[in-house]
Amino acid sequence: MPLVDTNWLEKNLDKVKIIDCSWHMPQTKRNGFEEYQELHIQNAIFLDLDKNSKTDTDLPHMLTDIKSWEKIVSYMGIGNEDQIIIYDNSDVISSCRCWYNFIYFGHDPSLVHVLDGGLKKWMNEKKPTVNNLTNTISSNYIANEKKELVKDKKQIEENINFNKFNVIDARSRERFEGKVPELRKGLRSGSIKNSFCLPFSDLINEDHTFINRKKILEKFKLTKCELDNNITFTCGSGVTASVLALAYSLINNKYMPKIYDGSWSEYGKF
């Protein structure tokens, strides 16, 4: 299953590789790495979504190339057979984006998990944290890119006419319907034609855990989107789209996450 709970992780801290992938929206003025330095779960390695993304683009945290990803993961000391637990301390549940990245680059999906509730739940339960940087020994990670799991703008535009897959948007309904301005400059308001809306926050409890599977299914059914294996998720910049992708995989174990990487940061440009 894509999720593990805090009690399981506490019992298995030395048996898994742990990643802190806290990323915050710019307007929050929070810094994930600075917060990691102050405290984190024992053995956790920090992964900066922005710094470890594609560099030759003005779009935020786009997937990097395969060779760069191999270097990133090797530097973290993670091997191809390692079980990985990813957490965050973010209101946008950024750990799910890291989960997607690993699956996109070919890590066995059964070995990649997100900590349900993240650091917020861990700390609320008064489980131990540390502030020392985690030492790593470099590995020789080999990636296997799954290009079918990402959509680009051309594919999204063509799909409007040919309807080969459905698109579900994770942004708020107000943003989806164009009733409020976009947070990033240079973007129009609105959404991709024929897409559906399911705000990612509808799937998250106050303690940052996912709602139960029955409720997740109900939320997806309310979109009126056909619930098959051919759904692509989008959002503002590809982070909360991954929250929907993980949630959908909880109710459809045959689903492999598909993301429009550029999302509205690309599609909504004037």
Return d(Cα 17, Cα 14) in angstroms, integer: 8
Tokens 């034609």 appear where?
193
- Give how far Cα 259 sits from Cα of 7, 51, 233, 264, Å: 30, 20, 5, 12
21 counts as catalytic: no
Question: What is the side-by-side order of every strand in the sheet holding 3-4?
Answer: 3-4, 112-115, 84-87, 17-20, 44-46
Q: What is the DSSP string of 68-93?
A: HHHHHHHHTT--TT--EEEE---TT-
Structural tokens at position 214: 């029955």
Q: Which of 143, 109, 118 is nearest to 246 (CA)?
A: 109
User: Helix, strand or coil for residue 119?
Assistant: helix
Question: What is the side-by-side order of every strand in the sheet holding 259-260?
Answer: 150-151, 259-260, 231-234, 166-169, 196-197
Q: Which of 87, 36, 96, 124 is nearest to 247 (CA)?
A: 96
User: Helix, strand or coil for residue 229?
Assistant: coil
Structural tokens at position 46: 């920090």
Which residue of the set 21, 98, 197, 235 is catalytic? 235
Beta pairing partners, 85: 18, 113
Task: Give the angle 131-134-139 at the CA atoms, nearest 5°.
Answer: 165
Active site residues: 235
